């Protein structure tokens, strides 16, 4: 197919990717851009990165590029480094079902075989910018034009073979505004439970792609609609129920993080998971407190239990789960403002995240806004005025302390 007829020109391709294709072709191998970058170019979107596939074997790729490193064990592929930019170069692969053993000879295939092992037709377009042509073995271009996300091959077989494809389906549908074909959409609620058999570490990577790509709200709603959210976060789904409340802490958090990403501000998985898991933790803690447990202990036990259950499904690396729990446990520090306590808290490393989280709780109607407003002022005013703010409260605080002391004294 003519690339220009697909709306493709080489103008928006990174010069490094073009250089890689040119050098492979000069060495006598066929080579194409493939996957998300071609799909995004056809849709008129900015590709995240450029992936190349070629007939050349990994060892041959390494001989052509001095700046290439081979990675991966089972399916080796090459990373060609240009300063900070990396172009991933893979060799055409045959579908796994055609591979009786792991030897390279059987793993690698033709460009056509490579197309049939890809997940969706829109991800299986091969673009040769040098020749100005597109190879489309599975009808991906027509599907893109029709706004359809279609599984390559038999959807049930492909979802069973790799259940993560269901998450990818929901992600691409939400991100690109494509409609999943009805037959596949109907399978997702039925086969979604298979995700519980996927390695939790891989699912963590998928969670970041789902929730940290700038369209978390749409993605969350699509996950709920396809009944995948309840498989990934059963304890959260049990508390939140089916109707999604736009003022809920979780939706506010997702909306905020979409906005931050649009503004190129950083986002952290610690905050994301703190918001995702908060409702079941809160419900369990409040329940335990109502039953008479000491609050500190109730919150800690609830956090531990919810986290333990969640980790069975999705890994949350310690470097994120530790600050996540800190965001939760620091919520009680906002009440302690007298003396130097407010000043010390403000200086602490995790203050900002805990404060933002407090803001979400207020927005969700969990707390009256006064406390949050006080802390907002405390940050905004000149340091000298902070003393005044603290003194403004200390009347109440001191009274409370004195009353307690007196009671203790009289009972003693």
Q: Nearest-CB residue to Mg ion?
A: 36
Q: How far is it, in rounded angstroms, from Cα 50 to Cα 37?
A: 6
Binding mask 6-45 for Mg ion (x = CB under 5 A): ------------------------------x---------
Catalytic pick among 40, 51, 136, 143: 51
- Say how far apart CA 209 and CA 370 lie, in whole Å: 36
Least distance (Å) from ligand ATP to the CB of residue 214?
A: 11
In the complex, the smallest distance separating the C-beta of residue 161 from ligand ATP, rounded to whole angstroms, is 8
Q: Which of 232, 315, 237, 329 is nearest to 274 (CA)?
A: 329
| Binds ligand ATP by CB under 6 A, chosen from 54, 91, 121, 123 | 123
Question: Which residues touch 324 (CB under 8 Å, ≥6 apart)?
Answer: 270, 271, 273, 274, 277, 316
Task: With contacts defined by CB under 6 A, name the span among 116-124, 247-255, 272-280, 302-310 that binds ligand ATP.
Answer: 116-124
Least Cα distance to 360 among 240, 244, 248, 215 occurs for 248
* Among the listed residues 159, 145, 172, the one whose alpha carbon sits nearest the alpha carbon of residue 36: 172
Site for ligand ATP in 157-196 (CB under 6 A): 162, 164-165
**Given 40, 119, 143, 258, the catalytic residue:** 119
Rounded Cα–Cα distance for residues 128 and 133 (Å): 5
> In the range 43-82, which residues lie near ligand ATP by CB under 6 A?
48, 51
Could you say which residues in the range 35-94 bind Mg ion, by CB under 5 A?
Answer: 36
Q: Which residues contact 307 (CB under 8 A, 6 or more apart)?
A: 277, 316, 321, 325
Q: Is 2 considered catalytic here?
A: no
Structure token pair of residue 237 = 């789904």
The b/e string for 284-300 (b: 16+ C-beta within 10 A; e otherwise) is: bbeebeeeeeeeeebbb
Among 62, 93, 118, 282, binds ligand ATP (CB under 6 A): 118
- Is 51 annotated in the active site? yes
Can residue 35 be called a binding residue for ligand ATP (CB under 6 A)? yes
Would you call 136 a catalytic residue per the annotation?
no
Using the contact rule CB under 6 A, the part of the chain among 12-20, 118-126, 221-229, 316-324 near ligand ATP is: 118-126
| C-beta closer to ligand ATP: residue 35 or 323 | 35
SS3 of the chain: helix, strand, coil, percent, to 5: 60, 10, 30
Q: Which residues form the interface with Mg ion (CB under 5 A)?
A: 36
Q: Catalog residues that contact ligand ATP under the rule CB under 6 A.
A: 35-36, 48, 51, 118-119, 123-124, 162, 164-165
Residue numbers annotated as active site: 49, 51, 119
């Amino acid at each position: 197919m003519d690339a220009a007829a697909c709306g493709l020109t080489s103008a928006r391709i990174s010069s490094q990717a073009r250089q890689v294709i040119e050098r492979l072709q000069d060495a006598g191998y066929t080579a194409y851009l493939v996957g998300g970058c071609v799909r995004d170019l056809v849709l008129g979107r900015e590709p995240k990165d450029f992936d190349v596939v070629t007939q050349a074997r990994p060892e041959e790729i390494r001989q052509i590029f001095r700046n290439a490193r081979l990675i991966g064990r089972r399916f080796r592929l090459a990373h060609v480094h240009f300063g900070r930019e990396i172009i991933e170069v893979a060799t055409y692969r045959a579908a796994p079902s055609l591979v009786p053993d792991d030897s390279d000879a059987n793993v690698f295939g033709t460009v056509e075989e490579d197309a049939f092992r890809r997940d969706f037709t829109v991800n299986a377009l091969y673009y040769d910018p040098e020749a100005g042509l597109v190879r489309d073995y599975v009808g991906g271009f027509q599907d893109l034009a029709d706004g359809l996300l279609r599984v390559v091959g038999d959807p049930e077989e492909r979802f069973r073979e790799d259940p993560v494809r269901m998450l990818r389906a929901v992600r691409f549908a939400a991100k690109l505004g494509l409609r999943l074909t009805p037959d596949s959409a109907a399978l997702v609620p039925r086969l979604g439970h298979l995700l519980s058999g996927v390695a939790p570490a891989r699912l963590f990577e998928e969670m970041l792609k789902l929730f940290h790509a700038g369209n978390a709200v749409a993605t969350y709603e699509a996950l709920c609609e396809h009944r995948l959210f309840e498989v990934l976060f059963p304890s959260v789904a049990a508390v939140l129920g089916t109707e999604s409340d736009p003022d809920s802490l979780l939706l506010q958090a997702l909306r905020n993080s979409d906005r931050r990403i649009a503004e190129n501000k950083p986002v952290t998985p610690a905050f994301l998971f703190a918001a995702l898991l908060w409702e079941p933790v809160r419900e369990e803690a409040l329940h335990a407190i109502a039953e008479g447990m000491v609050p500190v202990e109730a919150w800690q036990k609830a956090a531990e239990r919810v986290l333990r259950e969640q980790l069975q499904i999705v890994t949350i690396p310690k470097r994120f789960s530790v600050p996540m729990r800190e965001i939760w446990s620091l919520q009680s520090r906002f009440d302690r403002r007298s003396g130097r306590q407010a000043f010390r808290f403000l200086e602490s490393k995790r203050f900002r995240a805990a404060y933002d989280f407090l803001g979400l709780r207020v927005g969700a109607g969990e707390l009256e806004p006064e406390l949050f407003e006080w802390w907002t002022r405390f940050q905004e005013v000149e340091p000298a005025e902070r003393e005044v703010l603290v003194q403004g409260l200390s009347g109440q605080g001191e009274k409370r302390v004195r009353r307690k002391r007196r009671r203790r004294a009289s009972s003693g």
